Amino acid sequence: MNRRRSLQVLTAASVMGAAVPFLEGAVGKEPIQLHVELFVDPAREAEMVKNYHSIFRPVISKQPGFVDVKLLKMRSVLEGGKPATGWRLLISFKTEEQRLTWVATDDHQRVWPSIEKTLVGKKYAIVLYDIQ
């Protein structure tokens, strides 16, 4: 996503959150956690992990409202069905507004491609959670 598109999404989310009652809280003040299922190219796993630790994590951790980021690799399925991918990126911010602001920064536009270039197929699936 380029910077212009990110700013459009941020603006649209702010407008929709104020205008549509069922979206109340979509851009709220409660803490959030973003789960990003990563479809990593098996041949580029080591590169993705290196880029996460040396490029992505140091930059995101300095953002206003940042709480935590973790990169998880599935070890095994203990019960239930197997997820679509074995990699998950967990990102937590104090508010959804702060996360959206991060996505629109030049820093995000610079560091996210270091992860995204190691992904294949549909690349990722994203689920946003409110922390209760």
Domain ranges of the chain: 3-130
pLDDT reported for residue 2: 52
pLDDT reported for residue 84: 84
pTM for this structure? 0.77
pLDDT digits (tens, 9 = 90+) for 56-89: 999 999 999 999 999 999 999 999 988 888 999 9
Q: Which strands sit side by side in the sheet containing 66-73, from one edge to the other?
A: 66-73, 87-93, 32-40, 119-130
> Got the DSSP string for 73-101?
E-----SSPPPS-SEEEEEEES-HHHHHH
Provide the percentage of residues in the chain whose pLDDT is more than 70.
79
pLDDT digits (tens, 9 = 90+) for 103-118: 999 999 999 999 999 9
- Helix, strand or coil, per DSSP, at residue 129: strand
Q: Does domain 3-130 sit in CATH 3.30.70.100?
A: yes
Are 67 and 90 contacting, i.e. CB atoms less than 8 angstroms apart? no
pLDDT reported for residue 29: 81
